[in-house]
Amino acid sequence: MFSDKANQIFQEVIEKYHLINTVGQEFQNPYDEKDHLLEHLLFRKCWIDTVQWHYEDIIRDPNINPVAALKLKRQIDASNQERTDMVEYIDSYFLDKYKHIEPKANARINSESPAWAIDRLSILALKIYHMNEEANRVEAGQGHMMKCKAKLDVLLEQRVDLSTAINQLLEDIEKGEKYMKVYKQMKMYNDDELNPVLRGSKQ
């Protein structure tokens, strides 16, 4: 099933990141883009999410240097744009895969595309990894560990449900019972022409 593969790759990414555990570490994708395109995209997508997860931790340091915080905010903005781009690449993969499928007359559209659901699955993998760390952080005390274990159980259940929903969506598209319709994300705040502050800075 697709979600089994995705969850396996996401776990691989997160474990690989934490071997060094720094946001500036070199990125190396073990999946060849030509021969393993989907795996390549999934690995890249989760790596972006993992780095951004840690960006978000760092920027919340109450003692962070303001200049460093501004630089990091720019990095988070760039990461958000890259994350969105990767979602669109993954949706393009599925659009190409299913381009020969003729939707049935009564085919329905889903509220989100496959890749945006996969985006949530990638973030969920990060939540599970870090909540598991907290559930086993002995120095935090028994009460903290028990609370985090309860939250971890919910996250694990959520992953099962989301994985099932993604698999069912892809199956429905393959059968022509649902169809894909993808809207490009028209982010305005990064655009020199659409963000009035950026537009003004060029004049």
Question: Does residue 177 sit within a domain?
Answer: yes
Instruction: List pLDDT tens digits, range 28-87.
Output: 999 999 999 999 999 999 999 999 999 999 999 999 999 999 999 999 999 999 999 999
198 lies in a domain?
no
Question: Which pairs from 14-18 meet CB under 8 Å and 24+ separation?
Answer: 14/46, 14/50, 14/125, 14/126, 14/129, 17/47, 17/50, 17/51, 18/129
Residues linked to residue 108 through DSSP beta bridges, in sequence order = 178
pLDDT in tens, 44-58: 999 999 999 999 999
Tokens 């004049």 -> residue: 203
State the pLDDT at residue 30: 97
Residue 15, number of CB atoms within 10 A of its CB: 10
**Residue 166 belongs to a domain:** yes
Q: Is residue 199 in a domain?
A: no
The number of distinct structural domains making up the chain is: 1
The answer to the question of residue 113 being in a domain is yes
Under DSSP, is residue 178 helix (H, G, I), strand (E, B) or coil? strand
Rg (alpha carbons) of the chain, rounded to whole number: 19
Which residue range is the domain that position 121 belongs to?
2-192
d(CA 154, CA 14) in angstroms, rounded, equals 20
**Residue range 113-165, pLDDT digits in tens:** 999 999 999 999 999 999 999 999 999 999 999 999 999 999 999 999 999 99
Is 203 contained in some domain? no
- Residue 85 domain flag: yes
